[in-house]
Amino acid sequence: MPKTKLIKKQVMENLKDKLQKANGVIVTEYQGLNVGDLNDLRSKLRKVSCEYHIIQNTLLHLASQNSDYTAIDDTLKGPTAVCFVYGDPVAPAKVIMDFKKDHEKLKVKAGLIEKKVVNEKELKSLASLPSRQVLLSMLVGRLQAPIANLVYVLNGPISKMVNVLDGVKKKKAQAGA
Q: What digits encode the pLDDT tens for the residues 101-160?
A: 888 888 888 888 877 888 888 888 877 777 777 878 888 888 888 887 777 778 888 888
Q: Return the number of other C-beta atoms located less than 10 Å from residue 120's C-beta.
A: 17
Residue pLDDT, tens place only, 136-148: 888 888 888 888 7
Q: What is the distance between the alpha carbons of residues 172 and 108, in angstroms, rounded to a whole number?
A: 79
Instruction: Identify the pLDDT of residue 43.
Output: 93
Q: Check whether 53 has a pLDDT greater than 80.
A: yes
User: Who's near 44: CB < 8 A, 6+ residues apart?
Assistant: 95, 99
Instruction: Identify the pLDDT of residue 44.
Output: 92
Q: What is the rounded average pLDDT of the residues 157-174?
A: 84
Distant-in-sequence contacts of 125-134, Cβ < 8 A, 24+ apart: 126/89, 126/90, 126/93, 127/90, 127/93, 127/94, 127/96, 127/97, 127/98, 129/90, 130/90, 131/88, 131/90, 131/91, 132/88, 132/90, 133/88
Q: What is the pTM of this model?
A: 0.70
CATH superfamily placement of domain 3-129:
Ribosomal protein L10, N-terminal RNA-binding domain (3.30.70.1730)
